[in-house]
Structure 1
């Protein structure tokens, strides 16, 4: 599929006046973006790992290093995390892989769109290609992380039940929540660098409100309430439980968070679609 360089004429007429036509066009553009998305995904993956000694190991090294540090802190009693359903090193490593996948899903759309500013300003192409390429890159990195997860299951002899086949469904919902937030922030990040920097601060604080290196708190208190209200909590915990113990502790919370993720993504995609022409026009002027 070829896209010609040309000056794109912007229109201020709202596409919302014809919602069915807009939805149909969004679907057509999503399908038409496949080939370009594949090329963009390959470009980004090759650029990220080409000039690297450790190469693809960087896909899971941050999670592994962080989990190792937390495990050492727990064993030395510096960090008291309580009782976990599986050995703590396995608990925190699996949780960190899930958390890293979520943060990549959140950061991915913003990074992809920001890097493609010049192409967006000069070339007319389906903008959904950037989102599809982001999803492809996240799945590629996730595939590498699964090597670490399989090693954890073998090393700690974690029993596998039928529920592990449902874990990808919960994981997709977790990724969808991150992609929804990232897609919503894309237009703002293109205009203001503060949003890209703010995401780093936000996810750093968000980590401490998510049961990644500690079990989900059961008691009362402001901290426990914030953890329970965090939409990432039921998605991450359910994915971890389906992959390990098979016992879901918060099924209602999971489905509520899943509906938030799905609905949030559809709204974010619509806002992205409507806002991008005006953002591109502004950065091109």
Structure 2
């Protein structure tokens, strides 16, 4: 005879009291649901990755094609003198190729929370499951795609004749930082994007402009107000150090790098809590 008490599902008690009034309990519930979401998140990620590459003839090559064409475009603009990109410590093709690859990882991380939530709108309306599963599944997909990009970057560097040194051991820290900041920002704007679809169209435009204020395709300016914008841009130390660790150069702006990551952790916690609080309201209002 089966013991029914051992198979009883966990009970959820709903009260009119806001969980914000009890932050300790709220944090406990957040991390409890995060732990519970692991298996579902993995299944969702595997399904999405298979669908993503099964429906494309070129498969995983798309992770390489877009940055490659961006690189070729900027090499042409720089070589023809149409655009002055500044002097770089490494050959410009390597600079722009690694920069666009790293930028793609950041943009994937920022877009993932909203994309995952919108694509699961039907599930959200019908089933009660930890919403964290959507965020974690997005991170799994980001890590998978980032792994492909990293292998392509390493292969390209070896072909060109640049061999990463021991700094390569620290390079994953740069990738984690890009994913952390991107996920925090993406999670912060997801509730707004669920209400107003225009947000999803505005974000790519904002990211395109922000890329030109980050050392992705342009070298760091030496002086002037543009140099100030580059310096205060919180993405600058992330891209700089990730590229430096990949190509064997010492890190730069490490104090700012640490500050940005600490603030990103705090922002992620705040955005995560806000996401949990507003999702039931958004599901009801949007009819997700």
- TM-score of the superposition, structure 1-length normalised? 0.92
SS of corresponding position for 1:154: helix
Structure 1 counterpart of 2:156: 152
Structure 2 counterparts to residues 110-121 of structure 1, below 5 A: 110-121=114-125
Q: Which stretch shifts more, 206-215 or 11-20? A: 11-20
Aligned: 1:126 with 2:130? yes
1:156 to partner: Cα distance: 1.8
Gaps of 5+ in 2: 1-8
Structure 1 counterpart of 2:205: 201
1:66 to partner: Cα distance: 0.2
SS of corresponding position for 1:108: helix
SS of corresponding position for 2:222: coil
Corresponding residue to 2:220 among 216, 221, 245: 216
* Deviations 1:123-169 (CA, angstroms, capped at 9, x unpaired): 10000000000000001111111221012211221132211111111
Corresponding residue to 2:280 among 270, 274, 277: 277
* Deviations 1:170-198 (CA, angstroms, capped at 9, x unpaired): 22111111100110111111111011111
CA distance in 1, matches of 2:40, 2:160: 42
Aligned: 1:51 with 2:20? no
Q: Is the 8 A contact 2:109 2:182 kept in 1?
A: yes
CA distance in 2, matches of 1:11, 1:75: 65
Structure 2 counterpart of 1:234: 237
1:12 to partner: Cα distance: 4.9
CA distance in 2, matches of 1:154, 1:192: 45
* Deviations 1:54-103 (CA, angstroms, capped at 9, x unpaired): 11111221111101111122122222222211111111111111000000
Structure 2 counterpart of 1:14: 18
SS of corresponding position for 2:55: coil
Residues 73, 26 of structure 1: alpha-carbon distance in 2 compared, 3 angstrom cutoff: same
CA distance in 2, matches of 1:107, 1:12: 33
Aligned: 1:100 with 2:87? no
CA distance in 1, matches of 2:42, 2:89: 40
RMSD: 1.8
Q: Is the 8 A contact 1:38 1:133 kept in 2?
A: yes
Structure 2 counterpart of 1:186: 190
CA distance in 2, matches of 1:263, 1:218: 32
SS of corresponding position for 2:129: coil
CA distance in 2, matches of 1:9, 1:121: 19
Q: Is the 8 A contact 1:95 1:236 kept in 2?
A: yes
Larger radius of gyration: 2
SS of corresponding position for 2:220: coil
Gaps of 5+ in 1: none
Structure 1 counterpart of 2:6: none
SS of corresponding position for 1:60: helix
Aligned: 1:268 with 2:271? yes
Q: Which stretch shifts more, 246-255 or 29-38? A: 246-255
1:273 to partner: Cα distance: 1.5
SS of corresponding position for 2:261: helix
1:11 to partner: Cα distance: 5.6
Q: Is the 8 A contact 1:121 1:283 kept in 2?
A: no
Aligned: 1:250 with 2:229? no
- TM-score of the superposition, structure 2-length normalised? 0.91
CA distance in 2, matches of 1:206, 1:10: 42
